[in-house]
Structure 1
Amino acid sequence: MLNQADHDEDDAAPIDMLEAYYAAHSWEHERQDDEIVASVKGSWATYELRALWREDDSVLQFLAFPDIKVTDDRRAAIYETIGLVNEQLWIGHFELWSSSGILLFRHAAMIDGDEDRTLTLSGAELLVESAIEECERFYPVFQFVLWGGKSPKEALAAALVETQGEA
């Protein structure tokens, strides 16, 4: 992972810090003003990471899209699944955009400071890595419900089985 010595400042404006973090990992990214979008390959899918900085509210909205689209006939099952999954999360939540059927992970971070609203490197790493980890952790749950014919409870139980030892 990246360490503080890899970045020449202790902290930076939120989008600037995320841009430096993505560049340090050689992740494809594109920036426009107070928004940045990156593409990250995970174990299950390529995730689109999108961050939006709202300076007036001092809020950094962070979204991770795990490339899952839900058809109308599976929405009820996915809403139930989202409810069960969100009970497992400490930070952030999954949601389904009703207009498009797109599933996403969302987290908002309040970044306060009188004049200097900055994000630290460790804060950027926590924001990005936790979103990716949650998408990786729960991607199979959503796939079991969408394509595996499992109930939300069965899918959650099957996906969260922890193996012990080595084969």
Structure 2
Amino acid sequence: MLDQTDHDDNEPSAPIDMLEAYYAAHNWEFERHDDEIVASIKGSWTTYELRALWRDDDSVLQFLAFPDIKATDDRRPALYEAIGLVNEQLWIGHFELWSSSGILLYRHAALVDGEEEPMLSLSGAELLVESAIEECERFYPVFQFVLWGGKSPREALAAALVETHGEA
């Protein structure tokens, strides 16, 4: 968890500015282009691309996480079923498969409002980023089991969500 004192003025900032400060504080590689920021972070399973887009007209921050999974045409029906089962487990955000490319992603949109200018707090940025990474990490094995492990979506979900107790 990032300490509130790590942000320069400890005040909410414009959404993309706050995400930029958050990424910089973690020393993550990122690129900023006006109302969009893209970062790359290494997780347990893969390297994730994190992309945030700000729509000023709607005061919406769209946050996308790409877990580097692409489905071939023959595996898409099983993956769509797995996505449906996984999305039932989520409180915020959802996974989807882009039909044109077969790329899997996690998406969450946040309404960000402010009296004069929309602002995002440090804790809001942290929640947005960390929850996306956590969900990608938690469900990455499900998608891999379906795509490459020969498991049905229900078998994959059951196998991936087995809780372990103690230490190995």
Percent identity over paired residues = 84
After TM superposition, the score normalised by the length of structure 1 is 0.99
Matching residue of 2:40: 39
Matching residue of 1:6: 6
Question: How many matched pairs?
Answer: 167
Q: CA deviation at 1:21?
A: 0.2
Give the partner amino acid of 2:18.
M
Alignment deviations for residues 13-61 of structure 1 (CA, whole Å, 9 cap, x no partner): 0000000000000000000000000000000000000000001100000
State the Cα RMSD in Å. Answer: 0.6
Matching residue of 1:122: 123
Q: Determine helix, strand or coil for the equivalent of 2:166.
A: coil
Give the partner amino acid of 1:135.
C
Give the partner amino acid of 2:47.
T
1:58 aligns with 2:59: yes
Matching residue of 2:86: 85
Q: Determine helix, strand or coil for the equivalent of 2:37.
A: strand
| Distance in 2, Cα, partners of 1:55 & 1:3 | 28
1:102 aligns with 2:121: no
Q: Determine helix, strand or coil for the equivalent of 1:12.
A: coil
| Distance in 2, Cα, partners of 1:157 & 1:40 | 27
Q: Determine helix, strand or coil for the equivalent of 1:136.
A: helix
5+ residue gaps, structure 1, are none
Q: CA deviation at 1:116?
A: 2.0
Give the partner amino acid of 2:61.
L
Give the partner amino acid of 2:2.
L
